Structure 1
Amino acid sequence: MTILVVLVLLGLHSAAAVIHSLKNLVTGSSQAPNFPEFVAVGMVDDVQVDHYDSNTRRREPKQDWVNRLIEDDPNFWESPEEILRVHQQLYNDSIGPLMHSFDQTGGVHILQVMIGCEWDDETGDVNGSTWIGYDGEDFISFDLKTEKWIARKQQAEIIKQKWDTNRALNAWLTHYIIQRCPYYLKKFVNYGRSSLMRTDLPSVSLLQKTPSSPVSCFATGFYPDRAKMFWRKDGEELHENVELGEILPNHDGSFQMNVDLDLSSVRPEDWRKYECVFWLSGVNDDIITKLDKAAIKSNEGPSGFPLGAVIGGVVVLLLLVVGIVGFFLWKKNNNWFQPANTTDVSSSSLSSSVEVQNTGL
């Protein structure tokens, strides 16, 4: 069977936050010819750091600071190669039985694997998780405390029973998540700190197409893309008569977003009670913009609505969409990680070269 592997780029994470993440991601689909059978990527704070596929059989750095790390430590990739073998074994041993359990005989079907960890560089706390998704839904996950698998679908029960007996695989996963994954993550953060910790504040404007149109609070030029915008009245966040736009990329690598407020039922004398709030992860102070009629820009005239910036962001987004055709984004929930019990497994009790065997279903 030929397999198309699709990258999962998800879970937003602030480069300036004290909690850092390392995610090893694999996604594949069946019956898609002329594509590698296996692809894996590493993501540090949701920035891609490497790429591997079964055609080249090479792990390639994707950041300059990763290249510097490899130059200083030429053996850095040797141990992480093991997780690629685990991913590939989980994938190869799963796709056929999964299709059988769902009574599927053909067609394109998506399988995804994530093994990752989070590390708080202030408290030293480590959390981690392993999950597998199938056709866009959670299928099975690994419980670090019990070293057992949790079936998320009825069809996963038989797979859970098989994998629960594979002590070598489960011990390796536990050891990797709470010992080795944080080690690699700390090295990545040490070398990429200046890039990963970058924060750029936006310019914020109030825009309105016509006097009867909603007022749009528009922020552009911020980085990273872990941000939030909302309207509030008398200090309380509003949810009614508010429309939140998506975060879009600008041509320079920064981002833009907007949130609209319908004022059709608001008396002019009450406008002063409203304000727009922009929050950027890793920045202590919010950017607050008071609703002031005199500050609102229209889409008429050279100083009006910045259509160029908006259109530019949309064009960039369309180009990105074209560039990632065939890629499948399925996981939108950021809460991937469950606390790891760091007392369950010690680094001395597990060999770093443990051989994973009998993962077949």
Structure 2
Amino acid sequence: MKLTSHQNMKIFILLLLSSHFASSVKHSLNYIYTASSGLPDFPEFVGAAVVDDNLLGNCDSSKKIIELKHDWVKKIYENDPHQLEEYKRLCFVEEPNFFKAEINSLKQRFNQSGGVHILQRMIGCEWDDETGEVIGYNHYGYDGEDFISVDLKTETWIAPKPQAFITKLKWDADKARMKLNQYSLTVIYPEWLKKYLAYGRSFLLRTELPSVSLLQKTPSSPVSCHATGFYPHRAALVWRKDGEELHEEVDHGEILPNHDGTFQMSVDLNLSSVTPEDWTRYDCVFQFSGVKEDIITKLEKDRIRTNWVKPSDMTVPVTAAVVVLALILIGAAGFIVYKKKKAIRPPSSPDNSAEFSEQLNPET
């Protein structure tokens, strides 16, 4: 998995769209750390905890704060204050010092004297609640490229870049580090993932159905089937013709997060070669993992939302606008002439002058 520098603390794992679902449900816990060098307006070290793509909390080494995003997360650490103190130590002291030293070392290896550099780490696990299978991972990325990652099966480190080979040799020889990775990724992290799921069940295990709309920019544009407001992200959106899923003339978008923790996705259908008479043979289907009933939206003309306006429809408003503008200009010109005439009247008309002043200042 590639860790890019622009992700920072708002990282969400974008999942590939799939129309087939396994009967089991997989949950994930990720701790994401980002250290920077050469960014004066950005913290040198930030961390984030994410469960099933939901941000639970984050820490900032420069401000020395840990921000918990949900009340049920706060309750966990109220019941286990020792664990919160441990996270503070990691976020404010241990991890920032480690990352700072590593960035300095990497800059030398890559022959970099200055500039902006980002070192990231994503460590966590994925747990299958049906089979109990656990997959642990620990990835490092430098300047947007994979740098080194652990392979728990072979108990070695994978180095895709020559500059990472020195680190690989050192860490392969450190058996204690490998044992710590094995235990953390397969025992400790799955336990914490299950604890998060238990405390946050009403939030993390909820089901929210989407609002589905058909959108089109212009009559010649593809019709986009857009679903938004659904949770969790284990969903698919497909176009069908006569009940059969389409793969040609279809463009699938990614599942993206909304600001409220729900998700959105869209799939476009190119209708350039489809006659209007055949539109009724098409429909858009939203499929939810664990939900038997699909949400089906028929392709009908009156269901399509668009902000496109025909040129002929714009004639009247534009003409009216021109007329109104002309009247405004004429009125302004008349007012200027009127003022000039008032200005050249003889001073023997104080009453008129006073009256004009009262019109401008009615409260005096």
TM-score by length of 1: 0.71
Alignment partners' CA distance in 2, 1:5 and 1:263: 36
Note if 1:135 corresponds to 2:172: no
Greater CA drift, 221-230 or 191-200 = 221-230
May I ask how many residue pairs the two structures share in their alignment? 297
CA 1:239–1:63: 2 relative to 1, 3 Å = same
CA 1:227–1:121: 2 relative to 1, 3 Å = closer
**What CA deviation, in whole Å up to 9, does each residue of 1:179-200 have, x standing for no partner?**
1111111111110011011221
Matches within 5 A, 1:75-114: 75-78=82-85, 84=91, 87-88=95-96, 90-114=98-122
Alignment partners' CA distance in 1, 2:55 and 2:35: 18
Alignment partners' CA distance in 2, 1:185 and 1:233: 41
* 2:255–2:265 CA contact under 8 A, matched in 1: yes
| 2:195 match | 187
Matches within 5 A, 1:306-321: none
CA 1:300–1:99: 2 relative to 1, 3 Å = closer
Alignment partners' CA distance in 2, 1:34 and 1:213: 42
**What CA deviation, in whole Å up to 9, does each residue of 1:187-222 have, x standing for no partner?**
111100110112211222334455444323232332
2:177 is paired with a residue whose SS is helix
| 1:42 match | 49
2:82 is paired with a residue whose SS is coil
* 1:248–1:257 CA contact under 8 A, matched in 2: yes
How many angstroms does 1:298 deviate by?
5.0
Alignment match of 2:69 (pick from 52, 62, 65): 62
How many angstroms does 1:32 deviate by?
1.5
Amino acid in the other structure paired with 2:57 = D
1:23 is paired with a residue whose SS is strand
CA 1:254–1:120: 2 relative to 1, 3 Å = closer
How many angstroms does 1:113 deviate by?
0.5
Alignment partners' CA distance in 2, 1:131 and 1:213: 41
2:84 is paired with a residue whose SS is coil
Alignment partners' CA distance in 1, 2:252 and 2:245: 13
CA 1:63–1:300: 2 relative to 1, 3 Å = same
Alignment partners' CA distance in 2, 1:300 and 1:260: 17
| 2:11 match | 9
CA 1:219–1:274: 2 relative to 1, 3 Å = same
**What CA deviation, in whole Å up to 9, does each residue of 1:221-265 have, x standing for no partner?**
323455432323345543443344565666765444433322121
Alignment partners' CA distance in 2, 1:89 and 1:5: 21
Alignment partners' CA distance in 2, 1:198 and 1:134: 36
**What CA deviation, in whole Å up to 9, does each residue of 1:107-137 have, x standing for no partner?**
1112111110112223222111001011111
2:236 is paired with a residue whose SS is strand
Alignment match of 2:127 (pick from 119, 124, 138): 119
Q: Report which structure shows greater RCO (CA 8 Å, sep ≥6).
A: 1
Alignment match of 1:175 (pick from 154, 161, 183): 183
| 2:162 match | 154
Structure 2 spans left out of the alignment, 5+ residues? 1-5, 16-20, 310-364
CA 1:190–1:97: 2 relative to 1, 3 Å = same
| 2:79 match | 72
* 1:5–1:37 CA contact under 8 A, matched in 2: no
Greater CA drift, 275-284 or 44-53 = 275-284
2:59 is paired with a residue whose SS is strand
Instruction: Point out the structure with the larger helix share.
Output: 2
1:75 is paired with a residue whose SS is helix
1:76 is paired with a residue whose SS is helix
Alignment partners' CA distance in 2, 1:134 and 1:93: 13
Note if 1:273 corresponds to 2:281: yes
CA 1:249–1:93: 2 relative to 1, 3 Å = closer
Alignment partners' CA distance in 1, 2:230 and 2:100: 41
Alignment partners' CA distance in 1, 2:117 and 2:49: 23
Greater CA drift, 71-80 or 153-162 = 71-80
| Largest Rg, 1 or 2 | 2
Amino acid in the other structure paired with 1:165 = A
Greater CA drift, 237-246 or 159-168 = 237-246
Amino acid in the other structure paired with 1:64 = D
